[in-house]
Amino acid sequence: MPKSAPKFTEEQNSSDEPSELEQTDTALTPPDDVAPPKPRKKGRAKTAASKSKPIEVALWETAENLRGSVEPAEYKHVVLPLFFLKYAGDRFDSQRAKIAAEHDNPAYLEIVSFYTAENVFYLPQESRWSFILANLKQSGLSLKIDTAFNHIEQSNSQLKGALPDNYYARLNLDERKLSNLISEIDRIPTATDQDTIGRIYEYFLQKFAVSEGSGKGEYYTPKSIVRLMAELIQPYSGVI
């Protein structure tokens, strides 16, 4: 005769142990002494995005603040000499540190041939990028920049006539905006194999052509068109 299934009374079925559902609910409830996660600040993503902008884009946006005192077609003439000043200053500082490491006598730091032998321009004190940065908040910033270029030419005859001549003072720029532009340029790394000046120059030409409309960019040919023309004519040899 088959055994009958065991009968459970209501008292037998109840238990002090929580059910699986109750255990799950308990596990998902954070303890009282654990603080809830802080909401992410909205400003962080924007800051990270702005820091990741290409160099030429950040420079153009900063140069746009000069609009009114400077026409867009002139932005490159304002920005590129300042970038050259930073580039020359960074190379000078690097060579100066190298000389200091090799010679104990401080007099060696001012020997011009120690710089020119390594294809580094010798920069007088008032022509160094560090000097410009130290005077960003001082009055007469435009005049200091013009003086820097003038003294570079005097110390390096091969640059005679190649640098701006009293250009920044004549522009009558808002010195706060000029200071912001220099600070932006200071963020650009110069120890790179990339043609940074070429990138900036080309981008500025492109932006000027787009922003000013028909006729203003007649001498600018986009890089994609140049590459297409080169692929079509296949200039593997000879002179074009």
Domain positions in the chain: 54-233
pLDDT tens, position by position, 163-189: 999 999 999 999 999 999 999 899 888
pLDDT tens, position by position, 189-218: 887 655 777 777 777 777 776 665 544 445
Report the alpha-carbon distance of residue 87 to residue 93 in Å, rounded.
Answer: 10
- Residue 116 or residue 58, greater confidence: 116
Owner of token pair 């000097």:
131
**What pLDDT, on a 0 to 100 scale, did the predictor assign at position 54?**
78
**217-236: average pLDDT:** 60
| Residue 194 CB coordination number (10 Å) | 9
Owner of token pair 């909205």:
42
Q: Three-state SS for 121?
A: coil
Report the alpha-carbon distance of residue 147 to residue 163 in Å, rounded.
Answer: 11
**What pLDDT, on a 0 to 100 scale, did the predictor assign at position 80?**
86
pLDDT tens, position by position, 1-16: 445 544 544 444 444 5
- CB-hemisphere CA count at 13 Å for 122? 17
| Residue 181 CB coordination number (10 Å) | 20
Report the alpha-carbon distance of residue 76 to residue 213 in Å, rounded.
Answer: 18
Average predicted confidence (pLDDT) for the chain: 77
Which fold would CATH assign to domain 54-233? Ferritin (1.20.1260)
pLDDT reading at 225 higher than 90: no
Helix ranges (H only) for the chain are 10-13, 20-28, 42-51, 55-63, 75-102, 113-116, 129-134, 141-155, 167-171, 175-186, 196-212, 223-233
pLDDT reading at 75 higher than 90: no
45-54, 79-88, 146-155, 202-211: the lowest-pLDDT one: 45-54
